[in-house]
Each structure stands twice: as structure tokens, then as C-alpha cells.
Chain A
Amino acid sequence: MAVLIAPSVILLLLTNAYPIVYAAFQSVHDGSLINAGDFVGLDNFARVLSGEAFWKAAGFTLVFTITGVFGSWLAGLGIALVLQQKVPARGLIKTLLLLPWVVPVVVSSTSWNWLLSTDSSPIPTLFRSLGLGEVRFLSDPFLAQVTVCLFIVWLNFPFMMLMMSAALTSVDESVYEAAKIDGASPRQQFMYMTLPIIAKPTYISWVLMTIFCVNEFPAIYLLTHGGPVGSTSTLVVLAYRTVFQNFQTGPGVAIAFIMTIALATVATFLFRQIRKSRVE
């Protein structure tokens, strides 16, 4: 047995243990990517937490994650429910709908950019022709936030669709047959039969998606670079910009650390709750 799990443990240590130790070291020093620098204790953390940018990014991370998790879940569940029933060409449709998740984010961010960014892009042109004026989705801080949230939902609803489809297929047909004989309405069937059965996979998928969204980097960075005026910077993007654009390794790593600790705590707590709650 030990032999079987050893390669996995070795890899895990190699790709995670050293970096975590090193990052912890960086977060309490005032060095750069090149020099270790001097020990400064929790100074970096204090500086980060007293800055406005951190809280702004933390706020947007929350909004982005909540939209990402529930938006993609609702869309994914809705489509999965429709796919449960008789639909012509189900396989083809499923494959088509999976594409946003399958296509590399480098590709999709490029095409979203092309669709939205300039005056001659298709979407602004469409808005103009509909008489809605000059709408630039990536220029207005609020609209850029909306766009980024839509983008993450678009990227992840197929994953949720897969998760929910798998959960729904485990629902036993005969249960519905019995319910129908008892005269339960479709809505009642959904509320009282389907929901409880898919509850557990749903919770798990929420936790997983929370992790994905909080850690999402390329989707945001390649679409908006965290702008305008930092409005679409989540904590990961802020950490990246702090380290690589402002060259403040210590504070940047501290941001990532605070985020990691918060996320790991929340995720582990939820995870334990789910494992404890025996939804049968």
C-alpha cells in the first residue's frame, strides 16, 4: 500500500512543500525575487492589511466568487435538468455546451477581448446600432466587473453541468414513478425528491468552484489586467501585480498568504461540515 501512494506523496512534497516554506520566508522579509532581504516580522502583513487596495480586492474577490459559484451552478443545473429529459442530439448539444470549459482560456480571453474592447468590436457596434450609445464593457469600472463575472460564469458553467448531470443520473427513476402516482407536481417532485438527492454533490461542487474562482488568474488577467483602476483585481491578481509590477515581493506574497489561509480555512471547514452531514 505504501508503495502505491509513495509517488504521489513525493510529487506533492516536491511541488508544494518547498515553495510554501519559501513563500512563508518571503512574507516576513523585505527582499526581492533575487535577494532574501532582512527579517521584518509581520510588517508586510500590517502594510497590506492597512492598505485600501487589499480590501478593495478582497471585496471584489467575494463578489466574483459568489457570482462565479452560483451563476455557473444555476446555469449548469438548469441545463443539466433539461438534458435529463428526452432531447434530440443530446450528445452533440452536450459537447457544444462543454466547449467554453474545454477551450484554452488564452483563446477565449482573446476572443472576448476582440468582441468587446474597441469601438469597431462587434458588441459595441451592435449596441450602437440598437441605439444604446457608446457602451465599452472594459472601460467602465463597474461594467468591467460585470464582464469579468460573466466571463467566469461562461467558463465554468459546463463544469457545473457535468457535475450536476452526474448527480441527477444517480436519482432513481422509480422514485419519480412513485411520486407521480402519489400525484406530486413537477415542482414538488423537484423540491422534495431531486434537491435532497443532489444536495451533497452540490455542496461539494460549490466548495470546488469556490477554490477555482478565488484562485482564478489567467481569465481575469488576460481579459482586463485587473483594471480599469484596479476594479477587477481579485486578491490573486493584486498579489501578482504587487510582486511583478511594483516589485514588492514581501507584500505580494503576504497578500497571497492571507488569501490562502482564509480560503483553506473556509474550504476545510465546509468540507468537514459536508462530510459530517450525512444527507441520505
Chain B
Amino acid sequence: MTTTQLNRKLGSAPIRRNLDPADRGKWKRFWLLIAIAAVALVPIAGTFVLSLRGNNGTGDFTLENFVHVIVDTQVVAWLLNSLQVTLATVVVSVLVAAPAGYVLSRGRSRLVEGYSLLLFVIQSLPVITSVIPLFILFSGMGLADNLIGITVLYVGSSMSVATWMMASYMDGIPGSLEEASWIDGASVFGSFWHIVLRNSLPGILSTAIFTFLMAWNDYLVASIFLRSSGTFTLPIGVQTFFQQHSTDWGSVMAVAVIMMLPPALVFATMNKYFSVGGVAGSLAGR
């Protein structure tokens, strides 16, 4: 519906960014996008409204739901768990994906190509098949129902995309830089560390944001791996409010708001550093 309107719009809108102020068109576009955003954000706005409403159905603005979940439930503990797991995932993912991305970007051997393809195939496997065997494996290692185990899994499952993202940024860094440093006697690792990483900060940020989202938002893996309320992350914790008899919508929506704020804030502040576009370039190979 909106897409057809948009496509019709395309016919009439010149695609260029020159300096003649097409002011009327500018505001038309602005309102069009605002209208689309308004429709798209109804569910999210609903969450906010419900979280700020009293449970007595009066519809008065109140913070009681937030007070209730923070004081009477384990939401704060779940929030801390979510933060710990997510931050650890981000750090480890970047540490693992950056060097791997570098090899993918610079390596031209069949093996590297093959590894790139392998990452792609792995990305297409459904988590469903592997989650139970993994649970059994991890239990044997003492990593089930604990935050370290789940962090390892998140790093594993975000790795394909994270590696591509890093590779695509490093493709943009001229190889002459590190070759020069090799001539100066730096090791491969040293030049990667000092030259390449320093120049790929936007790529690192993008990868960090992506893995943050993935780890923060996961439901399926956590629902199987986390069993005691002490280790719940927010997406699992919120499920405890869905009782057999009634759903306490106020509490659920308050937790929902708490759950969506961090990723929304991360995005709002770091939006300009984030780009997934590179993934396409990196996959297509140059």
C-alpha cells in the first residue's frame, strides 16, 4: 500500500541532491515520511502508553508500573544480566571478527574463499536444530544456565555477519599502508593491530552495534539455555509476567519499555556510524 504510493512518488521525484531549494517538495517528503513513521510506530507507541497507564484502567498517567517492576520483581537483576551478556558479546565479537575479517579481506587463497562461503552456509542453518545438542554439550562443560555459555553462543551466532562487516570495511583500507609497515619490519599481526584496526573504527562500531542488537534481542537461545530466574535476561524475564490466568499488561509493557530503551538509545546516538551496506559489498566480492 505505502510502497505503491512511494513508487508512484518515485516517478515524480527527481533523484538528485543539487542545491536548488525544492522547498515544497522537501516538506512534502517530510510529511510523507512522518506519516509512514507514525503508522509504523503505532505498536511501539502503544507499548509506551500502556506502560504509563494505571492498572485500574483509569488511563491516568502514572509511573506506578515502573516502580512496581523495579521494586517488586527481579527486573533490575535481569537488566544487569542482559547488559553483561550483551557487552561481553560485543567485545568478544569484535575481537574475533576483526582479525577474521582482515584475513577474509586480504586473503586471496581458495581456503579463505571457502571459509567465506562456509560462514554463509552456517548463517543459513536454523538455530532450532542445534540448540538442544549445544545445550547437552554445554551442560557437560558447565556452561548451561550461565551467562558465559550464552555469551559464547551469541558470539558464535553473530560471527558470520560480524566478520563480513569487518571485511567490508577493511576492503576500503588500502593495502599499501600495511605493506609499508612490513617493509619497516612490523609483523603481520603488528601491522594489523597498529595500522588496520586504527583505520577501521567505523567498521568496528558498526559491528559492535549489530552484535549488540543481536544479543540484546535474542529470545530463542536464551529461552532454552537460561533456567533459573537469577540468570534470566530481559526477554525471558518478561515471560514470567504471562501467568496462566492473567497477564499483567502494565508490568509487561513497563518491562518492554525498559527492554527497548537501550537499543533505541544506542541507535539514536550512534546511528551515523552504523551501516550494514558494506555487508553486501563484502559478500559480492570485488
CA–CA, A104 and B275, complex, Å: 19
Q: Do the beta carbons of A264 and B124 come within 8 Å of each other?
A: yes
Q: Do the beta carbons of A106 and B46 come within 8 Å of each other?
A: no
Binds B, one of A7-15, A48-56, A141-149, A224-232: A7-15
Interfacial chain A residues near B44, Cβ < 8 Å: 99-100, 103, 107-108, 111
Q: For chain A, what secondary structure do more than half of its interface residues adopt (helix, strand, loop), or is it mixed? A: helix
A260 within 8 A of B: yes
B201 within 8 A of A: no
B42 within 8 A of A: yes
Interfacial chain B residues near A14, Cβ < 8 Å: 152, 156
Interfacial chain A residues near B133, Cβ < 8 Å: 18-19, 22-23, 26
CA–CA, A26 and B117, complex, Å: 26
Q: Do the beta carbons of A186 and B13 come within 8 Å of each other?
A: yes
CA–CA, A93 and B106, complex, Å: 37
A83 within 8 A of B: yes
Q: B1-38 vs A: 1/0 string, CB under 8 Å?
A: 01100110111111111100110011101101110110
Contacts A111-B256, A239-B129 hold; do A82 and B26 have CB atoms under 8 A apart? no
Interfacial chain B residues near A7, Cβ < 8 Å: 95-96, 99-100
Interfacial chain B residues near A87, Cβ < 8 Å: 26, 29-30, 33
Interfacial chain B residues near A15, Cβ < 8 Å: 130, 134, 152-153, 156-157
Binds B, one of A38-46, A127-135, A215-223: A215-223
A95 within 8 A of B: yes
Interfacial chain A residues near B126, Cβ < 8 Å: 214-215, 217, 236, 239, 256, 259-260
Q: Do the beta carbons of A86 and B129 come within 8 Å of each other?
A: no
Nearest CB of chain A from residue B59's CB, rounded to whole Å: 13
Contacts A15-B156, A15-B157 hold; do A104 and B217 have CB atoms under 8 A apart? yes
Contact of B124 among A20, A211, A218, A257 (CB under 8 A): A211
B122 within 8 A of A: yes
Interfacial chain B residues near A82, Cβ < 8 Å: 6, 9, 13, 29, 32-33
Nearest CB of chain B from residue A223's CB, rounded to whole Å: 11
Interfacial chain A residues near B106, Cβ < 8 Å: 1
Nearest CB of chain A from residue B133's CB, rounded to whole Å: 4
A28 within 8 A of B: no
- Chain B contributes a number of interface residues (CB within 8 A of A) equal to 107
Q: Do the beta carbons of B121 and A268 come within 8 Å of each other?
A: yes
Interfacial chain A residues near B128, Cβ < 8 Å: 217, 236, 239-240, 243, 256
CA–CA, A268 and B216, complex, Å: 29
Nearest CB of chain B from residue A15's CB, rounded to whole Å: 3
Binds A, one of B64-72, B73-81, B260-268: B260-268
CA–CA, A236 and B133, complex, Å: 17
A189 within 8 A of B: yes
Contact of A187 among B11, B239, B276 (CB under 8 A): B11
Nearest CB of chain B from residue A91's CB, rounded to whole Å: 7
Q: Do the beta carbons of A86 and B17 come within 8 Å of each other?
A: yes
- Chain A contributes a number of interface residues (CB within 8 A of B) equal to 102
Interfacial chain B residues near A268, Cβ < 8 Å: 117, 120-121
CA–CA, A243 and B127, complex, Å: 13
A47 within 8 A of B: no
Contacts A4-B103, A16-B130 hold; do A81 and B10 have CB atoms under 8 A apart? yes
Q: Do the beta carbons of B14 and A166 come within 8 Å of each other?
A: no
Where the two chains meet, the residues of A that have a C-beta atom closer than 8 Å to any C-beta of B are 1, 3-5, 7-9, 11-12, 14-16, 18-20, 22-23, 26, 33, 71, 74-75, 78-79, 81-89, 91, 93-100, 102-108, 110-112, 114-115, 122, 154, 159, 162-163, 165-167, 169-170, 173, 176-177, 180, 186-187, 189-190, 194, 200-201, 203-205, 207-208, 211, 214-215, 217-218, 222, 236, 239-240, 243, 253, 256-257, 259-260, 263-264, 267-268, 271, 274-275
A to B CB contacts below 8 Å, 20 in the list: A5-B115, A12-B156, A15-B130, A15-B134, A16-B122, A20-B130, A23-B129, A75-B2, A84-B15, A85-B26, A97-B33, A98-B271, A104-B217, A173-B18, A201-B281, A201-B284, A253-B129, A256-B126, A260-B124, A264-B124
Query: Besides A16-B122, A86-B21, 14 other CB < 8 A contacts?
Result: A8-B100, A11-B155, A18-B133, A18-B137, A20-B125, A75-B2, A85-B29, A93-B37, A99-B267, A111-B253, A114-B46, A159-B276, A190-B15, A274-B283
